[in-house]
A and B are shown apart, each in its own frame.
Chain A
Amino acid sequence: MKAIEIENLNKIYNNRVQALSDVSFYVSEGEVFGLVGPDGGGKSTIFNILATLLLPTSGQASVLSRDVVNDAKIIRQLIGYLPGVFSLYPDLTVEENLIFFATMYKSRIKDNLPLIRPIWKQLVPFKDRRAGKLSGGMKQKLALCCALIHKPALLLLDEPTTGVDPVSRAEFWDILTNIQKQGITVLVSTPYMDEATRCDRIALIQEGKIIKIDTPTNIMEAYRGFLYTIKVENVFSVMEKLKEFDFPCNYYPYGQELHIAFYEAPEIVLQKFCSFLREQNIKFEELSPIQPTIEDCFIELVKLK
């Protein structure tokens, strides 16, 4: 059975801004499915439609075999939703927030405590602290508890790790894996490409369109180029000069380094490239082949589109 089915979904805001165009994908039950893409790509719009907060302009979307427009009330009892911005009551304590949301879903904390226990254990020392005074990571854990307290069949997480430190992010993903083991389907979005590898399948989304849907491994294996990394002093001035290098290649800054992908006869092009660098008097160190990451794949898919 499918936990989420979306077909030709379109969303146009104010008759002007096309946020989604013909988006179609499905999420199987028990899967952790990732929506990956830059800000403004339409991820939050998909979440709002699935969470029954936003009406689609056209197309079909169903959650657990129920239509998001007509069966909104039923869907709300079945899903847990974590919005992109922290939206628990900052002036209520950790415990009061949890009790409040449990009651809103007509469930009691003790009924579903086993499900949230691993996360709740970390929150217990702060249970009398106001939610607004928690750290970013703790806030997200509390929000997750509140979204899970009625044991939903599907969890919608809109950028749960944005603004959270790397250690807490890794921890958060461990928690998600655990939730998945309890039989809960997870739809999660993230702007961080490295997190995408922790999903069963991912959809790369940009400007309201889905570019690719597959498992992270398949996406990385389908990478067509030969990827090299190069350390130079000023990445952007080098990129400026590379415009004159007329062999098919694809280059972009990657942190402090420059990634460059060649598409034909890599050995020959690489030699040409080295001599080009010397001609241009560009100092560099460490020109070495590397394995593409999801981010490299995403960039390739976007550029070759």
Chain B
Amino acid sequence: MRTILMLVKKEFLQVFRNSLLWKILLIAPLAEFILFPFTADYEIKKLNIAFIDYDHSTTTREIQNEFVASGYFVSYGNINSQKEARSLMQRDVIDFIVEFPCDFERKIITNEYTQIAVTANAINSVKAGIGTNYVQTVLFDYISSLAESFGVESQLTNITITNIYWFNEQMNYKNLIVPGILVILVTLIGAYVTALNLVREKELGTIEQINVTPIKKWQFLLGKMIPFWILGMGEFIIGLGIMYLVFGITIQGSFWLLLFATSIYLFVMLGLGFFISSVSENQLQAMFVVFFLFIVFVLLSGLFTPIEGMPSWAQYVNYLNPMSFFMDIIKLVILKASNIHDIKIQLLVLTGMAIVINTAALLSYREKVK
């Protein structure tokens, strides 16, 4: 016990004396945490829209004004042909084209069948998807209010589209991205810092001096894990604080459940870091391996693209991705108030991963060389 406490104390002394590591550990990730959510903005404003109006009626003009009034669109004005529209879109001047046919107004009033064509630039699929939704909303809003004012029983008035976004009522992107970044932070501390730490002892040669002492492998690894586990938990709690103070996101579920899940996840990441560093010879190798895994974890985690949209092989690979399980837990507990029964599968999987990876780390760490 005294041995492990001493190892922990030594590790803390080293962390706090290493002025760079200290900054990397706390200041850099927190700064990122505060800045990044503002840049990863899924809300799209200032979409450039152009109109091809063959009707030239009051209605079409009013619809055009509605688009601008919605605040999401900037009007490029009227253009005369499909050809012109195409070239504008090619030059990225406009994102959307709305085309009104002849007799649009008359047909609306006489309740005849008519169409509006909406063309979207889908180079950025997120932008196109969200923008098309905005276009529809503006059109339906206008047409139903128009029908009302005419006192006409329009077919459209029978249809009302109401979107209710559960667990994220304002469809606020920050509610999704901020917890996601919290996950990334915990992962960075867990895997990156620990992977580099053990390799550094190899490079310095201090590992030899440790190996000739009678301490056991598990004591050594535990002595290395506890400090980084504490740092990781500390960072997570600070992150939750910022999440509340800066972004106003409150934890819907249990705070303690969240800490419990994080502590298990940290053991997975710490074990992974040590496994990588015990099979690497220098910090560069360890860094490349962690970097590679980190990118794969993040991309597959469902933070930026939904897992359901990935090809099936990627979804299978995701069963090995601890980050996607943890991302699930974090979102479920913070946004959906899930309890321990709702996330027990994820918790069990993470526990299993923690056991496997730490056993591997322990076995791969060699005191004796052949």
Contact = CB atoms under 8 A, between A and B. Distances in A.
B367 interface: yes
A147 to B, nearest CB: 9
A169 interface: no
A52 B10 contact: no
B118 interface: no
A83 B209 contact: yes
Contact of B3 (A76, A86, A91, A106): A106
Contacts of A101: 209, 213
Interface in B164-218: 204-215
B341 interface: no
A53 B208 contact: yes
A87 B208 CA distance: 7
B367 A53 contact: yes
Contacts of B206: 87-89
B367 to A, nearest CB: 7
B2 interface: yes
B91 interface: no
B83 interface: no
Contacts of B13: 91-92, 96
B6 interface: yes
Contacts of B212: 51-53, 76, 79, 81
Most chain A CB within a 10 A radius of its CB, from B2, B14, B208, B367: B208
B345 to A, nearest CB: 41
B369 interface: yes
B355 to A, nearest CB: 25
A119 interface: no
A26 interface: no
A100 interface: yes
B6 A104 contact: yes
A55 B370 contact: yes
Contact of B204 (A52, A76, A90, A105): A90
A18 to B, nearest CB: 15
A77 B216 CA distance: 12
Interface in B239-289: none
B14 A77 contact: no
A72 B205 contact: no
Interface in B8-49: 10, 13-14, 17-18
Interface string B130-155: 00000000000000000000000000
A1 interface: no
A121 interface: no
Nearest to B211: A53
A103 interface: yes
B369 A55 contact: yes
Contacts of B370: 55
B24 to A, nearest CB: 16
Contact of A88 (B6, B209, B214, B368): B209
Interface residues of B, number: 24
Contacts of A130: 17
A111 to B, nearest CB: 14
Nearest to B213: A104
Given A83-B209, A101-B209, A106-B3, A91 B369 contact: no
Given A83-B205, A88-B206, A91-B17, A52 B213 contact: no
Contacts of B369: 48, 53-55
Interface string A55-95: 10000000000000000110011010101011111111000
A83 B212 CA distance: 10
B3 A83 contact: no
A96 B16 CA distance: 14
Nearest to A104: B213
Nearest to B206: A87
A79 B18 CA distance: 32
Nearest to A85: B205
A85 B367 CA distance: 18
B368 A76 contact: no
A87 B204 contact: yes
Interface string B331-370: 0000000000000000000000000000000000001111
A89 B214 contact: no
A100 B14 contact: no
Contacts of B3: 103-104, 106
Contacts of A51: 212
Contacts of B210: 104
Given A79-B212, A85-B205, A103-B6, A72 B368 contact: yes
Nearest to B10: A100
A219 to B, nearest CB: 31
A53 B204 contact: no
6 contacts: A54-B368, A55-B370, A81-B212, A83-B209, A92-B17, A106-B3
Interface of B: 2-3, 6, 10, 13-14, 17-18, 204-215, 367-370
Given A53-B367, A76-B213, 8 more contacts: A54-B368, A55-B369, A72-B368, A91-B18, A101-B213, A103-B2, A104-B215, A105-B214
Interface of A: 48, 51-55, 72-73, 76-77, 79, 81, 83, 85-92, 96, 99-101, 103-106, 130, 146
Which 4 A-B pairs rank lowest in CB-CB distance, beginning with the nearest?
Answer: A87-B205, A103-B6, A104-B213, A76-B214
